[in-house]
Structure 1
Amino acid sequence: MLYKDFKTSIKSLGFLSIEDFMKYIGVTSADVLKWEEKDDVPYTVSLIVHLLKGEKNLPNDSALDNVIEECLPLASLLEESSSFPHKLEEMFLLQKQLNDSTNGKNWELGINRFGKDINWLRCIHMEVAELIESTPWKHWKNINAQPDMNNIHVELVDIWHFLMSYILQETNVPKAVSLVNTHCIYEAVEDVDVKAMVKESEKLSYISLAIETGNMPTFSGIERFIDQFFRCCKISGLSFTWLQKLYIGKNCLNKFRQDNGYKEGSYIKEWNGREDNVVMVEIIETMDNVSFDILYEELTQAYNKCK
């Protein structure tokens, strides 16, 4: 495909600019400059454009079979991504309900119903620290230990709770879904680079501190947060599908905790020698689609056995 034809095609698909398309398929500006110089777009990208258009007659190429095999995971991801807006809306609504019930109806003003200040930025900063604690980052202790990837994923979900709350504090659910939607389309890595994961996670803290200290405007900070959060998910091997399942699981567990004395200090977090997070993950691993109500009932049964 010629570069000039490529520019016309992506506009017909609804992308406002080449930069939007670049972000969508995960290529760099350097790649696009090479295409423009040669006036030739790689066949794989041309195929993606055809797939997005829904055209049956695909472009011919001698290496067609190999290219299609390479593109199948992306095609599958694109098909799956059609459900992402609905899943995002569900998560934002669940988060709002949890915040309403836990903090009171006007929590967006930064104070809960008990007069306690709410600081979502500090919450994110602290959860990042807990994520890093799940890795062997210390140069003086357990230097050959393995990272606890299951807990790292749970900590990312905790960060997602607080990031969604911060976004909802500044805007509404439809706008929040619109802001996040295109960032959810990514392929999580299989081989996690722990050092890179720690560095990228720390950037979430830097963004928190930059906004808190007035060195970054709130709304541009939100956009940076969203982009950086999903970058962390990608390099941590956490797919959006598993993020969504874990989120519903953790949201349900948070509601369960509040209903069983978490705020008052009477809640039991260790269930027969295992943390409640671990029990929750084991339950959702058996569920194709995580149902909040069914999971709540399962948690109730498991909790009653440890009291």
Structure 2
Amino acid sequence: MKKLEEMFRLQQRLNDETNGVKWREGVTKHGKIINWKRCIVMETAELIDSFSWKHWKNIAGGIDFENIKIEMVDIWHFVMSYILRFHVPQEAAKLAYATMKVSAVKLPTSWSEADNARIETLLEPFEDLMALALIKTDDVAYREELLEQFWECVDAVGLGFDELYRLYIGKNALNQFRQMHGYKEGTYLKVWNGREDNVVMQEILAERPDITYDGLMDALEAAYATVSGKE
């Protein structure tokens, strides 16, 4: 519960700082319409593209597990943002905890040719999440169902809660870092010495699993300085 509440509070702060105080009303500080559920749909589509589902190419391809985990964290940002439209962080954390659910579908830890034949089954949890996000309602029962489906997807991926928490903290810090360094203005450099910033962030987390949020921000700052010429 403490970790859930921390994540909701961090997401609220990120939204406040990047979108302005009216983001709960569905608009940014620049008057741009916000549609969190469409964000969930689009990020889930990106996750599905981590599977070799296309019949016209990558026929013998497998599955990009690491990218799927990152996409789940991106989806979590938008799910939390949507829930925070209606609940303060403490209430949102309680709702998220109460709706945790396991999945009947489990992604294989290693891909085999036989898995290609059951690709439709493996994609069901994620397509169900997309379908839910397209429904134009916002009542309490709907919010609960959306959260339940999200947790089903998390379980299907084999993403443990502690790993979700760690990756979320990392991605939240990176998103905050991007905003601080000109992401919206178009001056931010996303590729750092030949590697995407997302990869650098994951490497820092892997090397320092107990790193704090502030410590991660400092580590990102140090790494970025070698790219942007601030040293």
Task: Compute the TM-score of the two structures, normalised by the length of structure 2.
Answer: 0.88
Aligned AA for 2:216?
A: L
Q: Is the 8 A contact 2:101 2:148 kept in 1?
A: no
2:22 is the counterpart of 1:97: no
Q: Is the 8 A contact 1:191 1:237 kept in 2?
A: no
Return the structure number with greater relative CO, CA threshold 8 A, min gap 6: 2
Matched residue count: 219
Aligned AA for 1:106?
A: K
Q: Is the 8 A contact 2:24 2:85 kept in 1?
A: yes
Matches of 1:174 and 1:131, distance apart in 2: 29
Which structure is larger by alpha-carbon Rg, 1 or 2? 1
Matches of 1:258 and 1:279, distance apart in 2: 17
Matches of 2:225 and 2:27, distance apart in 1: 33
User: Which structure 2 segments of 5+ residues have no match?
Assistant: 110-114
Q: Is the 8 A contact 1:103 1:112 kept in 2?
A: yes
2:61 is the counterpart of 1:153: no
Matches of 1:105 and 1:182, distance apart in 2: 28
Kindly report which structure 2 residues correspond to 1:155-194, keeping only aligned pairs within 5 A, or say none. Answer: 155-184=71-100, 191-192=108-109
Matches of 2:95 and 2:182, distance apart in 1: 35
Q: Is the 8 A contact 2:100 2:147 kept in 1?
A: no
Matches of 1:304 and 1:234, distance apart in 2: 37
Matches of 2:127 and 2:166, distance apart in 1: 24
Matches of 1:246 and 1:204, distance apart in 2: 21
Matches of 1:285 and 1:88, distance apart in 2: 21
What's the CA shift for 1:305?
Answer: 1.7
SS in 1 for 2:3: helix
Matches of 1:185 and 1:87, distance apart in 2: 17
C-alpha offsets along residues 172-227 of structure 1, whole Å, 9 cap, x if unaligned? 1121111111344769967357834422111111011113xxxx453222111111
> 28, 36, 40: which one pairs with 1:112?
28
SS in 1 for 2:168: helix
> 168, 185, 188: which one pairs with 1:264?
185
> 196, 213, 220: which one pairs with 1:299?
220
Aligned AA for 1:208?
A: A
Q: Is the 8 A contact 2:36 2:79 kept in 1?
A: yes
Kindly report which structure 2 residues correspond to 1:23-34, keeping only aligned pairs within 5 A, or say none. Answer: none
What's the CA shift for 1:170?
Answer: 1.4
What's the CA shift for 1:285?
Answer: 1.5
User: Which structure 1 segments of 5+ residues have no match?
Assistant: 1-84
Q: Is the 8 A contact 1:249 1:290 kept in 2?
A: no
Alignment-derived partner of residue 125 in structure 2: 200
2:165 is the counterpart of 1:244: yes
Aligned AA for 2:207?
A: T
Mark the CA change 1:197 to 1:101 in structure 2 (over 3 Å): closer, same or farther: farther
Matches of 1:86 and 1:143, distance apart in 2: 44
Matches of 1:245 and 1:258, distance apart in 2: 20
C-alpha offsets along residues 228-283 of structure 1, whole Å, 9 cap, x if unaligned? 11111111111111000000000000000001111011111111221111111111
Aligned AA for 1:198?
A: L
What's the CA shift for 1:144?
Answer: 1.3
Matches of 1:237 and 1:110, distance apart in 2: 33
Alignment-derived partner of residue 279 in structure 1: 200
Q: How many percent identity over aligned positions? A: 47
SS in 2 for 1:285: helix
C-alpha offsets along residues 123-146 of structure 1, whole Å, 9 cap, x if unaligned? 101101111111111011012112
2:176 is the counterpart of 1:255: yes
Matches of 1:177 and 1:294, distance apart in 2: 25
Alignment-derived partner of residue 127 in structure 1: 43
Matches of 2:53 and 2:74, distance apart in 1: 20
Alignment-derived partner of residue 142 in structure 1: 58
Alignment-derived partner of residue 112 in structure 2: none
